[in-house]
Chains A and B, each alone.
Chain A
């Protein structure tokens, strides 16, 4: 299996622009997670889906952030409008309902820089 795939790997944009991050989970996985990693706050869970349905979005910072999962093999995290404080590495992770120890598998991340 190719693992969790994220695109783009790097994104540089200007403040006020819309940013869309993409994730393809491991085939057959039921859960998909979006995390953000910053020096100040470490790794934070933003939102997670189960069977394409958003279950907990309490970690989404504000209304500028939105996430969708239109099908089992694709999810997006959108920031509109973007701000410099959104600069971070965004990780997508997935797991199967039958994963040993509820193990989550992480993608390589998207490094977002908002100027």
Chain B
């Protein structure tokens, strides 16, 4: 089946930029997503990118997509303590296929 991989942990100093990386195997991905999960909560959609885009910026968030290398990244500028959470990369492929494939999640820890 399709696979989405992420590193498990990332620690960043408050005020620095965080970069969370994701690789995927599905060459027919149509949309790729970043979800945020805070302790005891559900998944909150942060942003998404269509597979024919290279970059998307939304306030402090920048998503970069390298379709050739099947690499997706999420950059959070000026990281704050409220950004501490687990971040999931997910992809969906083919029109009419509803299956979201999630990565393992990256736990982002902010160092004061």
| Chain A residues near B (Cβ < 8 Å) | 4, 31, 33, 42-43, 45, 48, 50, 55-56, 91, 93, 101-109
Contact = CB atoms under 8 A, between A and B. Distances in A.
Contacts, number: 45
Given A102-B92, A107-B42, A109-B42, A43 B102 contact: yes
A-side binding surface: helix, strand, loop or mixed? strand
Nearest to B6: A42
B-side binding surface: helix, strand, loop or mixed? strand
Interface residues on B, range: 20 to 34
B72 to A, nearest CB: 14
Given A31-B98, A43-B88, A56-B98, A102 B104 contact: no
A50 B97 CA distance: 12
B102 A106 contact: no
A43 B52 CA distance: 26
A106 B50 CA distance: 20
Nearest to A49: B98
